[in-house]
Amino acid sequence: MVGTALIAAPATYILRPVTAEAAVVPGDCGAGAKCNDGWTDFCSNIHGVNTCPPGALVGGWWRAEGNTYCNGESRYYMDCHDSNCSCACGASGTCAADCTDFPCHCNHDNCDERKVGCTRFRYGQCNNQEPCIGAIICRVVTCIPPWEWDSSCTKTDAVSQSTYNHGSVAEAPGLHPDSTPKGPYPARAAVVTGTTWQLQNSAAGSFDYGVEGDVPVIGDFSNSGVRTVGVVRGTRHGVAGTHDRLMWHLRQIEGPGEPDLVLEFGRAGDIPIVGDWTGNGVHTVGVVRGNRWLLRRSNSPGSADIDFTFGEPGDIPVVGDWNGDGRSGIGVVRGDTWLLRDSLSSGPPQYEFTFEGGGLPVTGDWDGDGRTGVGWFDEGTWQIRNPLTSGDPTNTFSFGNPSGVPLTWGRNV
């Protein structure tokens, strides 16, 4: 049987439509209640991860400068708005309270928590292609510039130094330093067949994302504490009409929807990979071209920051944090031989062993100890191993469409 972490109950979204009658609203609470302190709650206080809930989108951002939580750099506060309005908006860009199924209330219907879905104000730097969105549900706070979180966000500046500590309530989990990675947390199985994604123990269940021919990737592209889906388009040579550059379409929010972050990196024929090359919790893009590894430290357009050779053309590239130091290493699978290296540089493998299987290789931190293990996916059967040594599978289980492609995802709660 698989470790308990893999078979744990799926994370449930606390965020759900509630009836107005059922909700505890700011007016129900005393003047000194947290629900009345004027601030909208952090997304991490709603559903445990520092990203917008499904059904929301970023409507704008502001920043505080010189923030100790972000190594002295800017810290950004992004507003997640309800994306569904049943009636039109005026010039404000936000619809009236009775036009959404997400009424204003105190988080968890508790006066001791901040309000959610109450404030109808739009900073206006993000998703301006949507002329009408609902109230601010919650806030994402991040060291990542908003335009590397959501491609629609502009750099039009908004500074609010007084919000540095967000009302000086420093105990909120969303205020904890996020310059360090979330986790570790155990890998969960994922299988992609065409455009259909199956994520084990996910509230999102099975859904469609991308188009036929895309190469799937999964990563935490914003150190949110959850690994979300992405596709890379244009990987194949010789398809009429396709771009000769790879286009990455990454989700920052769980489940299906429009891509949040779209960027160009790599070219046709490259094998796309993602990893946390820097150890800051943010997975960023990379490609393998023959035996040349081209990695970028941010999810922004530009050339490779890291460039080296490892393995041989024809090897299957793999990525994982083999030594558990928070930084992804690299490796290749050649037949049944695994050749893995911690350092992002040319050199001999630091782990070389035989792990026999069949089908497609897959990697994941199966036991959640911070060290990535290895595995095979053969027609729906997963054989996984934790130690990076020759031996038999640690566990075997079944998940996913037999003709699909294996990946792993995960969530820190």
Least Cβ distance, residue 292 to Ca ion (angstroms): 20
Three-state SS at 27: helix
- Residues near 331 by beta carbon (within 8 Å), at least 6 away in sequence: 310, 311, 317, 318, 319, 320, 322, 338, 339, 340, 341, 349, 351
Q: Tell me how far CA of residue 174 lies from CA of 8, 72, 213, 357, in angstroms.
A: 24, 18, 38, 42
Nearer to Ca ion, 150 or 365 (CB): 365
Q: Which residue is nearest to Ca ion (CB)?
A: 278
For the CA atoms of 308, 310, 313, 317, the dihedral, rounded to the nearest 10 degrees, stands at -100
Q: State in angstroms the smallest separation of the CB of 148 from Ca ion.
A: 11
Taking the complex as a whole, the smallest distance from the CB of residue 187 to Ca ion amounts, in Å, to: 8
Handedness of CA 221, 222, 227, 228 (dihedral sign): negative
Minimum CB–partner distance for residue 225 and Ca ion (Å): 14
Nearer to Ca ion, 25 or 306 (CB): 306
Residue among 309 and 323 whose Cβ is closer to Ca ion: 323
Tokens found for residue 193: 């067949």
- If the CB atoms of residues 74 and 350 are measured against Ca ion, the closer one turns out to be 350
- Chain residues binding Ca ion by CB under 5 A are 276, 278, 280, 282, 321, 323, 325, 327, 329, 342, 365, 367, 369, 371, 373
Least distance from C-beta 325 to Ca ion, angstroms?
Answer: 4
C-alpha dist (Å) from residue 108 to 8, 84, 132: 23, 21, 26
Looking at the Cβ atoms of 127 and 408, the one nearer to Ca ion is 408
Fill in the amino acid letter for 147.
W
Strand order in the sheet with 284-289: 271-275, 284-289, 292-295, 306-309
Instruction: Provide, rounded to whole angstroms, the least separation between the CB of residue 131 and Ca ion.
Output: 35
Q: How far is CA 150 from the centre of its chain?
A: 12
Closer to Ca ion at the Cβ: 290 or 324?
324
- Rounded CA-CA distance 330/364 in Å is 13
* Beta carbon of residue 282, minimum distance to Ca ion (angstroms, whole number): 4
Would you say 331 or 373 has its CB closer to Ca ion? Answer: 373
The C-alpha atoms of residue 220 and residue 282 are separated, in whole angstroms, by 6
Residue whose CB is less far from Ca ion, 139 or 327 = 327
In the complex, minimum distance from the CB of residue 19 to Ca ion, in angstroms, rounded to a whole number:
42
Shortest distance in whole angstroms from residue 281 CB to Ca ion: 7
User: Can you name the residues that pair with 250 across neighbouring β-strands?
Assistant: 230, 261
**Contact status, residue 171 vs residue 112, Cβ threshold 8 Å:** no
- Looking at beta carbons only, is 178 or 367 nearer to Ca ion? 367
Contacts of 408 (CB under 8 A, 6+ apart): 187, 188, 189, 190, 218, 227, 362, 363, 364
Q: Is the peptide bond before 184 cis (omega within 30 degrees of 0)?
A: yes
